[in-house]
A and B are shown apart, each in its own frame.
Chain A
Amino acid sequence: MTNPTLPNTSPERLWHADNLRLTAFPSPATQFNATGQWAQIVGQAPDSQTIQTSKSIIEEIGKFANGRLQLLAQPVRIDWNYGLGGLMDQDPPPTNSELPFTVALRSFLQVAERWLPVGPSLRRLAFGAILTRPVQSRIEGYREMAHYLENVVRLDPEGSSDFLYQINRPRQLTDEPRIKINRLSKWSVGQVQFTQVAVNPGIRPYITLGDPILSMRLELDINTDADYHGDLPQMHLADLFRRLTNEGMEIAEQGDVP
């Protein structure tokens, strides 16, 4: 059901992607070597590669589609993170308005659809996102949020503060693979102030960078349920991930709908 109060396509209602995440939980039988995967998927070498042999952790990072893409592989989980991280040390740091959610998601899906068919067998798959939308004040943020949560919460923007709402709305996928997915969303309004902290002694300990950014914030964690037994069907992984992102899009557009 689409919420009639939300003109989803108007630019001022667009979410910005702070971070998009694909998390893959490998099958226990998988011995997966992530070295070189970043280059294989993106088509160029990453800017940095860190291998912590003693901890079995591999991290590869590089620029990708106006943002930064990180591959972090550990024995129990493999994460692909995409966002503006690493670009914020510029002075002044760019605002997150440079990465609209829909645009960022399209780029990120390319990564997912290239990697999942060649990646390891998986027990569990997740799409995570941190989305923000700048607002002028906490009250404005709460008013905006009230539209998204009007089916479940009656917000008092002027007379309240410290509001945080989180919920899981699980769903059962009806076609193959028939699995339960968790649809977690967390809603809040927060203020971010970037500061530069000096490491060298004798220098002013920190300086603020730019004005504080106040924004409405939506965190999504759409994942296949941990109780699913066996490996997820490899041939359906890319489709499955797209479906997880569609569920995330639905929440970002319609808010929390029981």
Chain B
Amino acid sequence: MIATHDEAIQNNDRGFFLTSDDPLTNAKAKAGFIATGTATTAFVFVGPVTFISNVYGWSLNSTESTDIPPELNNLLNKILTDAREENFEDGNMSQLAKGLIYLVEAYGEVAVQELARRIVAKQIDAEVASEVLQWMGRINHQASRGMRLWLLERNLLSNSLYIRDSAGLGIASLNDPAAIPSLRSAIAQEKNCALREDLEQVLRQLEGTRQ
């Protein structure tokens, strides 16, 4: 049975979906089996199980690289483009926030990895990136928690004051003491007094949580 991604997402609460996008083919393509002028590819025929793929890799503990599903890419493009026209107000759930929640729940860590890549590569407008970071701390999704924390910690060192501030807010929302070393390091390097004080307040909060 080959199901569309949407059907599979609806029908399978583990997030697995069936696709002709065979992992072996992907692995071989990734390993560079592409020749100039012709493409060499491989097909696996033995049974439908060989066509099972999964946006999270094999399991939540897998480190296998997974391709960004095209529909995730398209959705992300739309959400981030629309967000440029949006006015973000404290206390209100923005359309961007709703979109991010959907993407993280549907695609898990893969969605966060793609967001991380775009933010680190500065492909996202700073104001939108700041809103994204704040929501990375608020979303309640255990499987992507580690990656969201990584993204927030990484952006404590951003060149943009705006983004560093939002990373701090995101970490405060996530309230994970694992961020304490990164936070201490960021405070030691922070030259903006107001932001340094804010980060120190977040640090005290996390230390309180740890106790």
Contact = CB atoms under 8 A, between A and B. Distances in A.
Interface stretch (B62-70, B131-139, B191-199, B201-209): B62-70
B116 A162 contact: no
B102 interface: no
Q: In terms of DSSP, what is the predominant structure of the interface of chain A?
A: strand
A23 B113 CA distance: 15
Contacts of B154: 28-29, 75
B38 A192 contact: no
Interface stretch (B6-14, B39-47, B80-88, B92-100): B39-47
Interface in A161-189: 161-164, 166, 168, 170, 182, 184, 186, 188-189
B146 A200 contact: no
Nearest to A203: B38
Contacts of A196: 35, 38-40
Contacts of B63: 23, 25, 77, 124, 126, 128, 221, 223
Contacts of B43: 192-193, 195
B145 to A, nearest CB: 9
29 contacts: A19-B27, A28-B150, A28-B156, A28-B182, A29-B153, A31-B157, A54-B121, A56-B121, A68-B31, A70-B32, A75-B121, A76-B113, A77-B113, A81-B31, A86-B31, A93-B40, A124-B63, A161-B47, A162-B47, A170-B61, A184-B59, A190-B44, A195-B40, A196-B39, A198-B38, A221-B62, A223-B63, A225-B61, A229-B178
A84 B27 CA distance: 11
Interface of A: 18-19, 23, 25, 28-29, 31, 54-56, 61, 68, 70, 74-77, 79, 81, 83-86, 88-89, 93, 123-124, 126, 128, 130, 138, 161-164, 166, 168, 170, 182, 184, 186, 188-200, 209, 212, 214, 217, 219, 221, 223, 225-227, 229-230
